[in-house]
Amino acid sequence: MPESTLAGYLQEKYAKEKWGRIGFQKRAGVVAPLFSLYSSRSVGIGEFDDLRLLVDWCAKTGNSIIQLLPLNECGPTFCPYDSVSSFALEPSYLALRLLPAAKSKEIQRKIEDMKQRYPGGRPQVDYGIKQAKVNLLREMYLEENLNEAQGFADFVEENQYWLGDFGLYMVLKSHHGLRPWHEWQPEYRDHDDAALEAFYKEHEREVVFHIWLQWQLYKQLKQVKDYAASKGVFIKGDLPILVSRDSADVWAHPEFFKLEFAAGAPADMYCAKGQRWGMPTYNWDSIAADGYYYLKEKLRYAQNFYDLLRIDHVVGLFRIWSIRYNDPAENQGLYGFFDPYDENRWEEQGRRLLSLILDNTRMLLCAEDLGTIPRSCTKTLEELGIPGNDVQRWTKEWEKQHDFLKPEEYRRLSVAMLSTHDTTNWAAWWENEAGTVDQGLFMRWCAQRGINYDGVKERLFDFSRCRHGRLRWLESLATPDMLADIFGKRQEELKDFIGLYQNSYHEKEKLWALLKLRGAMREKCDAAILEAALRYTLQSQAIFCVQLITDWLYLADAFEGDAYQYRINTPGTTSLANWSLTMPLSLEELLKHKIVRHIRDMVAQSGRNPTP
């Protein structure tokens, strides 16, 4: 689509003012979890100041969007989507060397000792770094005279909605041996004002420490946004739709949440039992009765740091999968229901909330709209001017042709990408998942139909090529008729099985042809295959094309062994491997790498390099 036509299209949308601020042009970018990055200056984990190097890399490669995962303070699992506050930032990301107290030689020595104990570049982050940093930050805080700290009083005043509650929550949690707030002494759990006031007076210095710490984080991240702006790079933040059950938000405002439920997702072809995330769902009626102040304040604070904002699981604003909190954990998301229960309410609720968000922020909104999405959600996003996500492996015509969409068939109003933080990287998908079905889902469907899975599996799947819980069809299984014969049932009885087969059988061969790769299809991914896949999405008509940093780095042959191990998160699992992956190259190495010029050429050839 010509740029002039694209501008006219976007100027008709409800979000036209936000588009005017960002610009009516196609852009490319990178998704980079901060914990996965490191530089020669990092102490144990990627730090806010390291993002300046990523900004420089984007400026050199023609990318103009950096998309980050949530930077909110994490709980014990360090999952950025299960944060202990919708506002507070994660202390691990603070660059200690930039604080005034770091001028002390004693503090410098301690920072260097910490750096030796938690070096950058290990395969995974050691989150022991958080407590080590917090301990040293307490020492640095004690050296600070807050009466002379320029800007501190203004920061406290401007953020009084959440800041005091957060500081008090953190100290109360420590006081109760880190137990969740609903297990605290009743007077603290239930907000007895006199008890809380007395506790604050007794522990004021420690409460103010957490407030001071958030001030330091605020200043460093705000400076990153300013630096990015000077380089023509936009920062795209992430607003998790939910917050941890054990969080400052839920403790301070329990009336805003339905604590008898846990949010999740229904079963699908990738998660056989669905997902149970554990966070409580929102009581929107209660939030509305308070004038949506809670939501407005989240947006107000976030726009200090971000130009664009990703709304995680946007369909949850329309309806969310709710699971009874006391349902056995092993059931995961199997026995939930959609809230609101009445499907006729979904569009009105989603449109109201998204319009409210647009009316109360300068940031351009983008939406994560993956999974089973009702038409009302897709329609509302398009009408408001909010891009969704088009992930190549799922961007298909599912009903008739069962094939991948061509670049010109992608949604104009979308963010095209090869992978997300919740999927395998593209190389791992190609080698292990393309052309396969989920074993757990297939077995469950067989059990529901009274089909003996063990009796049919050898006639359906090539087990010499099955890995990581994925089943690959036998090459000889060339038609749906053969599937029906093996099951001993009519095709009419097997529509879901046949749909699964039609959308996955020879999936790799179909994509190979669309990528216009030469020669016989190769099972093992290499840089040439991945480059073709990247170019495919870059050439799409999607307004943004933002790639996971691991997919960009596969062009550099930077990863060794099974690509499956290089994933950021495996949904529905709790593991030390989740949210801890570290890139194989430092940011300085990345800036100097020969792929910089190659990526710049790819971006330029796609017409996504920004104009001044």
Q: Does 447 reside within a domain? A: yes
What is the model's pLDDT at position 28? 98
CB burial readout 201-225, b (16+ within 10 A) else e: eebeebbbbbbbbbbbbbbbbebbb
Evaluate if residue 3 carries a pLDDT over 70.
Answer: no
Average pLDDT over residues 204-223: 98
- How much of the chain, in percent, has pLDDT values that exceed 90? 89
Average pLDDT over residues 346-366: 98
Q: Distance (Å, rounded) from C-alpha 312 to C-alpha 243?
A: 12
Contact 566, 550 (CB under 8 A): yes
Evaluate if residue 504 carries a pLDDT over 90.
Answer: yes
- pLDDT tens digits for range 268-316: 766 778 889 999 999 999 999 999 999 999 999 999 999 999 999 999 9
* DSSP letters for 122-137: -SB--THHHHHHHHHH
What is the model's pLDDT at position 297? 98
Residue 231 DSSP code = T
| Rg, Å, the chain Cα set | 25
Residues across the chain: 612
- pLDDT tens digits for range 365-408: 999 999 889 999 999 999 999 999 999 999 999 999 999 999 99
Q: Considering the chain, what is the average pLDDT of its residues?
A: 95
Confidence of residue 59 (pLDDT cuts 50, 70, 90): very high
Backbone angles phi, psi at 6, to 5 degrees: -60, -45
Q: Does 482 reside within a domain? A: yes
Confidence of residue 252 (pLDDT cuts 50, 70, 90): very high
CB burial readout 562-581, b (16+ within 10 A) else e: ebbebbbbeebeeeeebbbb
Residue-range definition of the domain harbouring residue 442 = 436-505
Asked, as a colleague might, if the bond just before 76 is cis with ω within 30 of 0, I would say no
What is the model's pLDDT at position 53? 98
What is the model's pLDDT at position 347? 97
Q: Does 604 reside within a domain? A: no
- pLDDT tens digits for range 70-124: 999 998 889 999 999 999 999 999 999 999 999 999 999 999 999 999 998 899 9
Q: In what order do the strands lie in the sheet with 320-324?
A: 275-276, 261-265, 320-324, 337-339
Q: Does 444 reside within a domain? A: yes
Number of domains present in the structure of the chain: 1
Please say whether the dihedral angle defined by the alpha carbons of residues 64, 67, 71 and 77, taken in this order, is positive or negative: negative
Q: Does 565 reside within a domain? A: no
Evaluate if residue 2 carries a pLDDT over 70.
Answer: no
What is the model's pLDDT at position 572? 74
Q: Does 94 reside within a domain? A: no
What is the model's pLDDT at position 4? 61
What is the model's pLDDT at position 573? 81
Average pLDDT over residues 320-340: 94
Q: Does 341 reside within a domain? A: no
Helix H, strand E, coil C: the string for 204-221 is HHHHHHHHHHHHHHHHHH
Backbone angles phi, psi at 196, to 5 degrees: -70, -40
What is the model's pLDDT at position 543? 97
Q: Does 481 reside within a domain? A: yes
- pLDDT tens digits for range 426-439: 999 999 999 999 99
